[in-house]
Amino acid sequence: MQTEQVMEGKQISSWMTLLLAAACGLIVANLYYAQTLVGPISAATGLSSAAAGLIVTFTQIGYVIGLLFIVPLSDIIENRRLAVLALIVVVCALLTATFAPGALLFLGASLFIGLGAVVAQILVPYATYLTSEAQRGRVVGNVMSGLLLGIMLARPVASFITSLWGWHAVFALSAIIVALLALLLSRVLPERKPSPEMNYGQLIVSLGVLLKQTPVLRRRAIYQACLFGAFSLFWTTVPLRLSDHFGLSQQGIALFALAGVGGAVAAPIAGRLADRGWTRLLTGLAMIIAALSFSLAYLVHGDSNVALGLLVLAAITLDMAVSGNLVLGQRAIYTLGGKARGRLNGLFMSIFFVGGAVGSSLGSWSYAHGGWSLTSLLGIALPILALLYFFTEKRA
């Protein structure tokens, strides 16, 4: 049996890094399939346009619950077994969403999709136990690039599949893929059994202590919450903008979302530069780029190809800012301590996913009541808030 102590600091193999990156991408994509399908799903399930954002919000709420109450278990329970059990929950929830006859059951399934998808945040810190401190940023960046590709490819893939076979097929196909992935991981992942120093109740109570005593965690989580809120705001509303204003079909929306995949290149670059000590500079730069991206989106008027091209550019740069800052934040908190890494990651992700849930809800509300202009202004405000908070950070 490979214990935590034996595994910590070893050199991770390239194929294991690739497997973990692919697994994280396939798992976390389930949080985002519905993002470009808000229109057809809300029409099929009877949700109003103002309430359509709940489709994404409920998934993110489930994810936050899982981050707080399931991810910390990775500090006391054998990680491979925990990951496989969580994937079984995802498969069941995806099948329920496929055949849900109405909004209530679909939203309930969305909650459990988010709850089980937290296995991606068990696998990311798991990868750090397989590598040394000097290479941790690179490994986290590589695994996170797979996760971010899953996030960004989820939208165009969902739109393409929907244009061919309808939105139900998206969830059915994903259920099959996740089931096969669970089988593969159960066979090939090395066992990692932590040496627990507390029971589950103490573990959950310790979350509050960790949050209170770890200023780096609080600061990095708030930074990312603001940026991820802007990210969710954009991708919840831009499909509606593309459909209403530019007249794009689901395939057109898919091509637009595919352009955002270019933002994933920022993850491995940010990880490598963070290993060289550039974290502070890159953090401020990410916030500025995010604010400028929404400023560009705000200035886009008309329905010309030039206007659409500028909106594509805004999507790419926004995704780069958010993905780069995510890797910077995760690398920073992974250096804080090995035994609490699962809890630290759970707290970090849950806080910024609350920002994402708020962004999704604000997006559907702002677009329904103030159109694209109000939505863009809110998108500018969120990274500006992060930047103002960043200016209060003391230099190391």
DSSP state of 108: H
pLDDT at 384: 97
Cα separation of 150 and 117, whole Å?
12
State the Cα–Cα distance between residues 157 and 41, nearest whole angstrom.
16
The larger pLDDT score, comparing residue 193 to residue 178, is at 178
Q: Which of 283, 325, 318, 282 has its CA nearest to residue 298? A: 318
Please write the tens of the pLDDT for every residue from 25-45.
999 999 988 877 877 888 888
The average confidence (pLDDT) of the chain is: 85
Phi/psi for 3 (5° steps) reads -85, 170
Per the listing, tokens 């910077």 go with 328
Q: What is the pLDDT of residue 145?
A: 77
Question: Measuring CA to CA, which residue among 335, 226, 231, 319 is closest to residue 279?
Answer: 335
Q: Which residues contact 306 (CB under 8 A, 6 or more apart)?
A: none
Q: Which residue has the higher pLDDT, 380 or 364?
A: 380
8 Å CB contact between 146 and 261? no
* Residue among 197, 239, 194 at smallest CA distance from 35: 239
Write the pLDDT tens digit of every residue in 211-265: 898 899 999 999 999 999 999 899 888 888 888 888 888 788 878 888 777 777 7
Pick the more confident residue, 280 or 52: 280
Q: How confident is the model at residue 96 (pLDDT cuts 50, 70, 90)?
A: very high
Rounded Cα distance between 100 and 96, Å, is 6
Maximum mean pLDDT: which of 99-103, 180-184, 356-360: 180-184
Average pLDDT of the segment spanning 159-167: 89
Between CA 365 and CA 359 the distance in angstroms is: 10
φ and ψ at 193, to 5 degrees? Answer: -110, 110
Q: pLDDT at residue 297 above 50?
A: yes
Asked if residues 41 and 55 have their Cβ atoms less than 8 Å apart, the reply is yes
Rounded to an integer, the average pLDDT of 347-364 is 85
At 132 the pLDDT is 65
- Give 197's pLDDT tier (boundaries 50, 70, 90): confident
pLDDT of residue 49: 65
Q: Residue 142: which pLDDT band, with cuts at 50, 70 and 90? A: confident
- CATH architecture label of 12-390: Up-down Bundle (1.20)
Confidence band of 1 (pLDDT split at 50, 70, 90): very low
pLDDT of residue 3: 46
Q: Which range (285-289, 328-332, 340-344) has the least confidence?
A: 340-344
Supply 71's token pair. Answer: 């991810």
d(CA 259, CA 222): 27
The reported pLDDT for the residue numbered 5 is 44
Say if residue 83 is exposed, middle or buried (CB neighbours under 10 Å; 0-12, 13-18, 19+). Answer: buried
**Long-range contacts at 310-317 (CB < 8 A, ≥ 24 apart):** 311/238, 311/241, 311/242, 311/256, 312/256, 312/259, 314/234, 315/234, 315/238, 315/256, 315/257, 315/259, 315/260, 315/263, 316/259, 316/260, 316/262, 316/263, 317/263, 317/289, 317/290, 317/292, 317/293
pLDDT at 340 over 90: no
Q: What is the pLDDT of residue 393?
A: 86
Percent of the chain with pLDDT over 70: 93
Residue 200 banded pLDDT, cuts 50, 70, 90: confident
Annotated domain spans of the chain: 12-390
CA dist., res. 84 & res. 376, Å (int): 40
Q: What is the 3-state secondary structure (H, E, C) of 88-101?
A: HHHHHHHHHHHHCC
Task: Give yes or no for residue 287 having a pLDDT over 90.
Answer: yes
CA distances to 58, 60, 127, 297, 325 from 260, in Å: 23, 20, 26, 14, 16
CA 75 to chain centre: 21
Tell me the per-residue pLDDT of 43-77, one tens digit each, with 9 for 90 and over.
Answer: 888 777 666 677 888 888 898 899 889 988 888 88
Who wins on pLDDT, 271 or 114? 114
Mean pLDDT of 85-89: 96
- How many alpha carbons lie under 13 Å from residue 394 in its C-beta half-sphere? 3
Q: Helix H segments across the chain?
A: 4-7, 14-28, 38-45, 54-69, 79-99, 103-116, 120-128, 136-165, 167-188, 200-213, 215-244, 250-259, 266-275, 279-299, 305-334, 341-390
Instruction: Give dist(CA 119, CA 17) in Å, integer.
Output: 16
Two tokens at 106? 């679909």
What's the CA gap between 64 and 353, in Å, rounded? Answer: 6
Which tokens is 352 given?
A: 């910024």
Report the largest interatomic distance among the alpha carbons of the chain, rounded to a whole angstrom.
62
d(CA 146, CA 24): 6
